[in-house]
Amino acid sequence: MTHPVASAAVQLRFAESWFTVCGLDALIPGRGVAALLPDGRQAAVFRDRADRLYAVDNRDPFTGAAVLSRGLTGTHRGRPFVASPLLKQRFDLLSGECLDDASVRVAAYRVRAAAPANVLD
């Protein structure tokens, strides 16, 4: 008998432990999702077309709005970024640095795809 295989879990490193955000299949390449963290903040989580995962704070530091998960993704000089949908500043998805103003940054999180905990036989 064949059983559906559960999707890998997307996990974010938070407060010295891994926190499960969603299933890998919930992330559409090039589009972000907002994840509520245990402390009430939000992270913007992304998957690119090569299945690399990224996570940064969802709050745009220029406006204070939690919108980075709705931003457009791309690369600039080999650096993956998300552009805020409001004022269009670009944030490096690895470091959180603003590519348009190096004095501004958002938190960047380690993120991974983990095997599902339970798979049916």
Return the domain boundaries, the chain. 9-114
Could you tell me the pTM of the whole model?
Answer: 0.88
Q: Are the C-beta atoms of residues 51 and 43 closer than 8 Å to each other?
A: no
d(CA 8, CA 85): 29
Measured over the CA atoms of residue 92, residue 96, residue 98 and residue 99, the dihedral's sign is: negative
Question: pLDDT digits over 67-110, tens only?
Answer: 999 999 999 999 999 999 999 999 999 999 999 999 999 999 99
Q: Which CATH fold would you assign to the domain 9-114? A: Rieske Iron-sulfur Protein (2.102.10)
Retrieve residue 78's tokens: 């080999």
